[in-house]
Structure 1
Amino acid sequence: MKKTVTLCLATLGASIAVPTALAVNGHYPPGIEGLGSAAAPPAGLYYRGYLFQYDVDQFNGTEGNAVPGNNNGTVNALAHRLIWMTDRTFLGADYGMETIIPMLDIAFDFDVAGGQRFDDDGIGDLFVGPVILGWHGKQWDATFAAGHWFDTADFDAGNPASVGKGFGSTMLTLGGMWHFDAKKTWNVSALSRYEIKTKQDDTGITPGDSWLVEWGIGHRLENGLELGLVGYNAWQLEADDDGAPSDAEAERHAVGAEAGYLWPSAGVMLKGAYYNEYDAEAGGLKGLESEGDTVRLQLTKFF
């Protein structure tokens, strides 16, 4: 039973609040989850820590073209997530809940008007998810979740590096995972997030809804090491409401690789991934969209 429980540590879907530089136009940044992200774990209490660095190579406009000059930036984040899967069921699914506390350190350098630097650090907007539902079959898993990003962090409309967004977001999650073989050594998964935003009080603008899909194709070796291809595709589905600088809709696309290893006796899993963004376009509220590379580490502990 211990081995069965810890094998599911790799399949905790997540959502981390990070600055505008990473999320399409909301709170959830693509690339936080990769291999096996669409399966909920068994009953128990779980902690997952996310440590990642995002290096901005360039900033793009609404057509996806880089703006002139040497523009760059860095986002460092450490997010703490607690997941409690109860022993109760609903609609035939295991029921659980979660909360996330992100810590951010952001800096952007723009090569315009003699050079401008923006930076901020602190605790980001908090997430509370009262609903996690997980269904499990012999060779498949499915997950639905719902929660809200609360407007709790400091926000400055004149600072693109603000750790807060200035608005809240309701996030709906739906995902699935399929194992190609009975031993579950090969798998493919997809996890989607849909965000519905509230009005940004400082500007009076309500960002348009957004949708993203994180996907992965993984293979677990006999020694327990899992390797695979990962990526994400994210789109803003509707323009920001009246008052936004333009009616453009943001999007981001990336591909990368991931490796993970599980220590069943300790109830610990460590995963690492690298993503390269090959396309990014800005939306109306943001005006500019970053394009860069992400390095992510995840540490999961089952109690």
Structure 2
Amino acid sequence: MKGPNGNTVLKPDIDVGGVIAAYSVVTPKKILGGDYALAFMVPILNTRFTSNAFNASAESAGISDILFEPIGLGWEKGKANYTAGYAFYAPSGDFDPSSPLNPGLGFWEHQIQAGATYAFDKKKLWNASGLTTWEINHSKLGLDVKPGPIFTGEYSFGRRFFKYQMNAGFVGYASQKLSADSGSGINPLIAGQLDRGFGAGAEWKYTDIKHRLAFDVRYEKQFGVQLRTSGQVLVFSITCLDLLHMKPAK
């Protein structure tokens, strides 16, 4: 756990495991010339916390906050693809203001995203992408605390292999709170402080067209963190595809 200056203030043993069920669909409808899509996501989390410093341990599990994306747009222009969308998190997960661990965060959050992917060569093998996310938060339920807005920028650089079915490369992100949390419930020791974090690693994606499955593995090591937990992140996902509506690679 990192302090305001990036110094380590505590080294507890924290493991957060999550299973996330997600569904997304790209419809035939066009909005502003772009393909219209929508999605939702249901995360189930299991968190274990152990601290020798406090001689304490805790565990929580359950459904976390559900994400809805009612608006997702995509455009293809030559070597570039563009995306934009709006989503929100609903405070559907259990949240107890007096508990140190909760499956839910206890507040509504709006997310506005915009990104692009660009291919450097005519065969569209080498590619780079970027995605920006702006988070706007409401006050926490049962607390006079309103988390400040957060900006996150994600980036990647990779190459396609095996007839465009595999993509592998370097990935990373930078996340910065834009204004401090507000409310009478803020800890005076961190009042007015802005948390941030960075991460870098690698990602591998493979699409098995025959079995209509897509696999994604991503690993990132966090660094330069302030006022957040700092560690390692591993993500593994399997996606079932509806290939009847997939566009062939050009």
| Superposition TM-score, scaled by structure 1 size | 0.75
1:237 lines up with 2:175 in the alignment = no
SS in 2 for 1:161: coil
2:83 corresponds to: 143
What is the percent sequence identity of the aligned residues? 24
SS in 2 for 1:60: coil
Which one of 213, 227, 236 corresponds to residue 268 of structure 1? 213
1:102 corresponds to: 43
Structure 2, gaps ≥5 residues long: 243-250
Which one of 230, 235, 239 corresponds to residue 291 of structure 1? 230
SS in 1 for 2:230: strand
Give the 5 Å matches for 1:179-190: 179-190=119-130
Runs of 4+ in structure 1 deviating by more than 6 angstroms, as ranges, are: none
1:93 corresponds to: 34
Aligned length: 237
- Alpha-carbon offset, residue 265 of structure 1: 2.4
SS in 2 for 1:291: coil
- Mapped partners of 1:242, 1:232: distance in 2: 29
1:248 corresponds to: 193
- Mapped partners of 2:156, 2:147: distance in 1: 28
| Superposition TM-score, scaled by structure 2 size | 0.91
2:108 corresponds to: 168
- Mapped partners of 2:125, 2:45: distance in 1: 36
Which one of 117, 123, 130 corresponds to residue 70 of structure 2? 130
Is contact 1:78–1:102 with CA below 8 Å preserved after alignment?
yes
SS in 2 for 1:290: coil
- Alpha-carbon offset, residue 247 of structure 1: 1.1
1:64 lines up with 2:3 in the alignment = no
- Structure with the bigger percentage of strand: 2
SS in 2 for 1:193: strand
Question: What code does the residue aligned with 1:202 have?
Answer: G
Give the 5 Å matches for 1:166-245: 166-222=106-162, 224-243=165-184, 244-245=186-187
Q: Which has the larger radius of gyration?
A: 2
Question: What code does the residue aligned with 1:167 have?
Answer: F
Which one of 185, 199, 204 corresponds to residue 259 of structure 1? 204
Question: What code does the residue aligned with 2:177 have?
Answer: Q
- Alpha-carbon offset, residue 280 of structure 1: 1.1
Is contact 1:125–1:152 with CA below 8 Å preserved after alignment?
yes
161-170 or 218-227, which moves further after superposition?
Answer: 218-227
- Alpha-carbon offset, residue 153 of structure 1: 0.9
Which one of 74, 85, 88 corresponds to residue 15 of structure 2? 74
- Mapped partners of 2:167, 2:239: distance in 1: 15
- Mapped partners of 2:121, 2:98: distance in 1: 53
1:55-107 CA-partner distances (Å, limit 9, x unpaired): xxxx1112211014x41210101111111211010101001111110010011
- Mapped partners of 2:90, 2:166: distance in 1: 37
Question: What code does the residue aligned with 2:233 have?
Answer: T
Structure 1, gaps ≥5 residues long: 1-58, 283-288
Give the 5 Å matches for 1:104-119: 104-113=45-54, 115-119=55-59
- Alpha-carbon offset, residue 242 of structure 1: 2.9
- Mapped partners of 1:138, 1:267: distance in 2: 27
1:155 lines up with 2:98 in the alignment = no
Give the 5 Å matches for 1:29-68: 59-68=1-10
- Mapped partners of 1:225, 1:83: distance in 2: 21
- Alpha-carbon offset, residue 202 of structure 1: 1.8
Q: CA RMSD in A?
A: 1.3
- Mapped partners of 1:199, 1:109: distance in 2: 28
- Mapped partners of 1:195, 1:232: distance in 2: 15
- Mapped partners of 1:127, 1:269: distance in 2: 21
